[in-house]
Every structure is written in C-alpha cells, then in structure tokens.
C-alpha cells in the first residue's frame, strides 16, 4: 500500500508524503496516506479557487452596427424622362447655360430631396422602393423662375395623380410624411440671377423651345444620387429601369 501510495503522480502529493515519512514513527507513517490526501485536497482546492478568482469571465461576442459606423452623405432620388425628352431638355439647358452660366447637370424630376444617410441605408431604401414600381406619365405645365439657386429656372409639371403618387411612394420608403407640399418640377438652370436676368432667361427658354408647354412624356428610370452642396461632385450611385 505504501509503495502504491508513493507512486502517486502528483508532485505536490509526493513531496508532502516523503517529508512526513522521514520524521514520523511507524504508527504515524501508516496513517500518512490519509493525512497527505487531506492536505493535498486542501492545497489543490485553494489553487483552484485562486484560479477561478483570477479568471476573466467569458463575454458575449461583440456585434457591430455597420450603418452606425458608415459615413453619412446626402442622398437624393431622381426620376428621369425617356431618352428623347431627356435629350430635348438637355439641349434647352445647354442653351441657357451658354448665356447665363451655371453648372451642368442632367434633366430630372426630384422624388426625394437630399437626406443624410449611409450608403447601406440609401441603397436598401432605394431597392425597396423600386420593387414593383412602374413607369408613369408626366406633362409639362410651363417654364417658371424661382427664388433659390437650385430653382432659378425650371419646368413645372402638372400635378397629376401619377406624378404625385410617385413622389408619395418614394417618400414612404425613405422618410415619414413631413406635411411639406410636393411641387413637381425639373430645374433647367441653376444660378443666382437678378430678377431682370431671370426674366431674360425665361424668354430665352421659350426662344430655344417654343413648344415645351404641354410636352407629355414617360418617366422610365429612377436614380439614386449623392448630392452635396457642390454640384460638380454629384455622383450617381444606382439606377433602376421602370417597367411599363
């Protein structure tokens, strides 16, 4: 039994046993296995407790919200007229710029004005809004002038159910209803002109395209753009062709 006990594998157990045997009577030596076992359990128990106290509790995996970490930019949604009307309005816009200046930009009807979003948010909302959305008709009312840089000279559109519903559809996917009245229009000149210059620009527009009033066409594309204060840095992010 003593030999079996001395062959125990634990270094701590063996060290305590050997030291006790060298200094005890035969009667006590016979009881050493029981004494050592008790001491060994106490030592190991303390080590285990200390290890548990020092242990770092496991933490649940940290998840990151990509939308919160992404940089936000100003996104807008444009409705784009069919190709021949886009070209026609483009020529009108180029003629106005040649005389009154202003930055170049493509003909478009704004459905959603600039909103501060992440790329993930904007693309997700745009994709959702485009699903099942179909091409729709629009008609020019007249050429008008406005009070802001981005509505210096513009083509106003008739407030038909199709035009108004299209804006409402995209607004529902991008933001809550704000109560602000939607005015469908397509700007054809950006600038800070005087009232006299605006009057001349209006006359120039009709000189370039005298039959623009009443022009009917179809909106067959919508596009997602980054539109900050600098028109020259605007970037098209996505485009969707609308089915008839």
The catalytic residue positions are 108, 185
- Token reading at 159: 């407030």
What angle is formed at CA 173 by the lines to CA 169 and CA 175, rounded to 5 degrees?
105
User: Residues 219, 136: contact at Cβ < 8 Å?
Assistant: yes
Radius of gyration of the chain (CA): 39
- Token reading at 141: 């009312």
Q: Which of 122, 124, 99, 104 is nearest to 112 (CA)?
A: 122
Sign of CA dihedral 27, 31, 32, 33: positive
Q: Which residues make Cβ contacts (< 8 Å) with residue 113, sequence separation at least 6?
A: 76
The three-state DSSP-derived secondary structure of 190-236 is CCCCCHHHHHHHHHHHHHHCCCCCCCEEEEEEEEEEECCCCHHHCEE
């Amino acid at each position: 039994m003593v030999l079996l006990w001395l062959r125990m594998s634990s270094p701590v157990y063996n060290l305590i046993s050997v030291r006790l045997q060298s200094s005890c009577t035969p009667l006590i030596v016979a009881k050493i296995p029981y004494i050592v076992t008790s001491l060994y359990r106490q030592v190991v128990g303390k080590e285990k407790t200390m290890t548990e106290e020092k242990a770092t509790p496991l933490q649940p995996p940290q998840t990151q919200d990509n939308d919160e970490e992404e940089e936000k930019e100003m996104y807008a949604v444009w409705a784009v007229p069919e190709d021949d009307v886009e070209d026609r309005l483009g020529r009108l816009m180029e003629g106005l710029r040649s005389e009154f200046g202003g930055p170049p930009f493509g003909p478009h009807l704004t459905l959603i004005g600039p909103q501060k979003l992440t790329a993930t948010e904007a693309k997700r909302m745009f994709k959702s809004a485009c699903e099942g959305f179909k091409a729709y008709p629009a008609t020019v009312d007249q050429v008008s002038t406005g009070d802001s840089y981005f509505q210096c000279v513009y083509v106003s559109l008739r407030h038909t159910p199709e035009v108004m519903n299209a804006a409402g559809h995209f607004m529902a996917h991008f933001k809550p209803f704000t109560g602000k009245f939607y005015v469908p229009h397509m700007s054809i000149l950006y600038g800070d002109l005087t009232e006299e210059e605006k009057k001349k620009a209006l006359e120039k527009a009709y000189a370039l395209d005298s039959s623009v009033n009443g022009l009917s066409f179809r909106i067959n594309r919508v596009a997602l753009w980054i539109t900050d204060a600098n028109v020259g840095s605007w970037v098209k992010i996505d485009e969707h062709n609308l089915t008839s």
